[in-house]
Amino acid sequence: MRTFVLGLVSSIVALAAAGCSGKSLCERRPWDCQSDTGTGGGNGSSGAPSTNAGAGNSSGAPGSGSCDTYVPPSYQSLAANPKLPDPFASPNGVRITTSAEWPCRRAEIKAQAQTYELGPNPGAPESVQGTLDGNAIKVAIANGGLSTSFSATITYPTTGTAPYPAMIGIGGISIGAKTLNDMGVATIIFPNDVLAKQMDGSSRGKGAFYDVNPGSTKTGAMMAWAWGVSRLIDALEQLPDAQIDPTRLGVTGCSRNGKGALIVGAFEDRIVLTIPQESGSGGAASWRVSDAMVVAGTQVQTLSEITGENVWFSPDFSRFNNTANRLPFDHHMIEGLVAPRALLVIENTSQVWLGNLSTYANSMAAHKIWQALGIPEKMGFSQKGDHQHCEWKGSQQAEVTAYVQNFLIGPPAGDTTLDTNVLKTDGVYNGYDEATWVDWTTPTL
């Protein structure tokens, strides 16, 4: 048994990121840099929603270390917008024009998402202690005189060379765990229910996250999971004997855990590949489009329904029941928070509740962010309807394999051809018109 102690690790990650500060966002590959900015992200890549965006949240402009302070306005002052909001327009209405401005725009979206939907990520605790015992990692956390712990289990690959890339599964892995192992990728099961329970409304504020962050009453379960994955990565960075490469980490999950996987990828910059599976509303679907589907007669999950179902979101999110169009963002921008890192959205057209049209429209709008950054191949979307919810029959294995090979394992040295852009669907979208939802243009950043 080996034990390592971790205090605040932001300075360590900042040093790693500093080596990349001279490159543009579009030139970087995920296996070259741990963070998309020069500010560091080892504290969970978030920070409070109403702080300087570049302070400890991996959101400042490359090399600058800070962004302008942005405080999201009150609910009462938000104007309704039936369209999907422009991801390139700052709250002051000015559109970004260069890739160097994307990190600060990203910070504004993060602040909005934490303020209105997810609740705040409190950042790094006072200390994290990782203990390795065989294939189990125990993560002990101390903060403000309080303590808690959780354990995550590693399944090592059957091929490849250590240290291995790894896919972190939120509650499990439903995209072919054995296939990943056979590709040389380790799999790590993250016990999200231990960090924040999600049985029903009675689960609010219960779990290891709240044990050491007692003031985080506004933080929903998904943001608590993202915080917990950050602590797991903190421990992995201090446990070289675990034989896991902390610069080559992916995250996945299915259904409610797929929603969580997207939030983890959006808020933790050390994740280089995010694969939310069948996440539907609160994940890959748009709140606005889902509402429109219900009006048109298709019963899908909406914002008004989901806020009463479970504790995935901040309790304040219910203010948007029946007023989703007042949100200054939608989930195309939550997906976009992953950029310039890699994202593959896996959806299932056989599950009407997930919102086939909603996930399609949302992800097509999100893809424009990667297009603007000049890296469209790093964001893909796949829908198939030949299986039950979270069942893996392999019909989308080619898409998963391509993204894992190119962005988690890494292409062969010298291979600069990343032709992995996937925009595949077997859905039929009668009458879908992009202009119904998108009234903004895609810039070249």
Respond yes or no on whether the N-terminal peptide bond of residue 163 is cis (omega within 30° of 0): yes
- Asked if residues 262 and 280 have their Cβ atoms less than 8 Å apart, the reply is no
Residue 260 sits at φ, ψ, to 5 deg, of -65, -40
255 is catalytic: yes
- Asked if residues 345 and 359 have their Cβ atoms less than 8 Å apart, the reply is yes
Spatial distance between the Cα atoms of 85 and 89, rounded to a whole number of angstroms: 8
Q: Please, what is the Cα angle at 334 between 331 and 338, to 5 degrees? A: 140
Residues in the chain: 445
Half-sphere exposure of 324 (CA within 13 A, CB side): 22
Got the DSSP string for 257-325?
HHHHHHHHHHH-TTEEEEEEES--TTTTS-HHHHHHHHHTT-----HHHHTTT-SSS-GGGGGGTT-GG
Spatial distance between the Cα atoms of 441 and 445, rounded to a whole number of angstroms: 12
Out of 45, 255, 290, 382, which one is annotated catalytic? 255
Q: Would you please indicate which residues are annotated as catalytic (active-site) residues?
A: 255, 389
